[in-house]
Amino acid sequence: MQLLGFPWYLIENITASQGSLNKRQSRHFLANSHFLPTSTLFRPEEAYLIILSDIGLGLVLFGIYCTSKIIGGSTITLLYLQPYLWVNHWIVAITYLHHTHPQVPKYEPEGWTFLKGALATVDRNLGWCGKHMLHNIADFHVIHHLFS
């Protein structure tokens, strides 16, 4: 979960409710992906934004590859991959904590709406660490859902 949870969510949109999709959820690989312009997540007029995002990701990956040829793969691992994995860990952990609280309601597909889904979360106070190291991401999670 900590290693593959967020990338898997981006690639296959696991855990998403049917009402959060623009089209009916597909069982085909990548059909629900955040990277595919024709994904079930997006309206046709949003395709160019996904393409631009994919180009940006490609440029970053190409830059990392070129940099690794200059300064070495182990340095890239320490400077980029290790912090990426740490951020990935916190994204998955905080998301899990917000969405699995016992007071968070669970909806059947026919009862789910976007607003109900957006409000089906809690704020958590992670103390000094949450405020100064995680920039209050946990303290204002409900607001994030309403004003992403």
Has this prediction a pTM greater than 0.85? no
Contact assessment for residue 60 and residue 52, using Cβ atoms and an 8 Å cutoff? no
Contact assessment for residue 91 and residue 6, using Cβ atoms and an 8 Å cutoff? yes
- Total domains in the chain come to 1
Can you tell me which residue has the tokens 């959820």? 25
What stretches of 16-134 show up as alpha helix (H) in DSSP? 47-71, 73-76, 82-99, 114-119, 127-128
Q: Give the pLDDT confidence score for residue 100 in this predicted structure.
A: 84
Rounded-to-integer distance, Cα 76 and Cα 17, Å: 37
Q: Give the pLDDT confidence score for residue 21 in this predicted structure.
A: 65
Can you tell me which residue has the tokens 């440029």? 59
The domain of 45 spans 5-146
Q: Give the pLDDT confidence score for residue 77 in this predicted structure.
A: 93
**Residue ranges of the chain whose pLDDT lies below 70:** 15-22, 148
Choose among 96, 94, 105: nearest CA to 136. 94
Q: Give the pLDDT confidence score for residue 17 in this predicted structure.
A: 61
